[in-house]
Structure 1
Amino acid sequence: FTFEPAPPMFELLSRNVEEHGVDAKLFNIGISDTEAEARFTFYPRSSGMSSFHPDEEEEKHNLRTIIANQRTTDAETRRLSAYAEELMDVRFEAIEYTARLRPLSAVIHEQGIERIDLIKIDVQKSERQVIDGIADEDWPKIRQMVLEAHDADGEVERLSKLLEDRGFTVTAEQDELYVGTDIYNIFAVRGAR
C-alpha cells in the first residue's frame, strides 16, 4: 500500500510498479486526519521537499545543510558543490496541486487490513495529521513504524511519547545527513525491549 498525492510522482510510481510486476495497491491521495482536499506544493526538482505545509526558506535551509553534510574530499563533488547555490531557486520552482486527503483508518477499513507489519510515514510536516487519522481500534494492528518528523517546538518528543503510550518501544535519532536541520527519524516497535 502506497500513498502519493503528487500526480507526477504517482505516475512514476505506477509505471515502476507495473514494469517490475510488484503486487501493490497505489493511492493517489494524501493521508491526514480527515476527508478533505488541500493544496499540495510539489517541487519537481526536489520532490522529497514537497509538502502540504510549504516553507521555502526552511526547505532551502534543509537542502543546503544536507548538501553540505554530503560533501567529501572528492574533487568532483567539491566542483559540483560550487554550483549548488546557483541551482537552489531552480530546485524550488513549485507546481501546486489540489490533493484528496483521507484518514489512514478509512483505508485500513476499506481494504480489510488486519495487520500492518511496517508503516513508513514521510510526509513533510504532516506527521501529526497522519497519526491523528489512525483510529483507536487500528493501533493494535501496527507492529512497527518508521516516522520522519520535523522537530518544530518539541514535536519529536511529543510524537515519541504518543507512540510509547500506544504500546511501542521508541527510539528517535537524527541521521548524520540531517545534522543541522530539524529532521529526525522515529523508530517504533511494538513489544520490543
Structure 2
Amino acid sequence: MAKRPNHSRRRQHNTTFLGKIKDKSIRKIKARTEENLSVLYGLTLMGFVSFDSLYELFTPFFFIGIGLKINPSALTAALGMGGILLVAAVLGKLIGAGGPTLLTTGWTGAALIGVSMVPRAEITMIVMGKGLSLGEWAVSNQVFAAMVVVSAVTSILAPIILRSLLNKLPEIPTGVSN
C-alpha cells in the first residue's frame, strides 16, 4: 500500500533566529492591521467616519503613485501618441454617448452628455498601471505616458467645456407654483 503524503495545514516556521523574529514581526503587523481595519469598519458603520472622507484622503496618493511611474524620457516621445489617443477618446465618447441622445435632447444636450463622458482617470490608470507592472510586452512606458497625458487633458478640459455648455442652457425658474 502506498504511503499518503502528509498535507498538514500547519505553517512551517523559520528555524533561524532572524527567521523567528521576522515571523513574529509579520504576525504582529498583521494583527495590528486587522485590529485597525476592524476599528475603521466599526467607525464607518456607526457613522463616525464616512467613505467620502476616506476617498478624499487616499485619492491624491493614487494619482501621485501614477505620476511616479512615468518615465520622464518616455513622456516627450508619448506626446504624439497621446494626441492621437486623445482625439480618438474624445470622438469616441462624443459619438458613442452624445450621438444617441441627439435624437431626444438636441445638440446642446447631446454635447453635454458626450463631454460629460469624456474624462478618463481612475479606471484607465488602474488598467494601465497593472499593464505596466506586467512588463514592457503588455504596456510600454511610452503607451503608459501617453495614457497619462490623455487622462490629464480630458480631466482638466471636460469641466471647462461643460461650464460653457451649461451656461448656454436656458435658466429654469425655481419655486414657481401654478
Alignment TM class, shorter chain as reference: under 0.3
TM-score by length of 2: 0.24
* Higher Rg: 2
TM-score by length of 1: 0.23
The structure where helix makes up a greater share of residues is 2
The structure where strand makes up a greater share of residues is 1
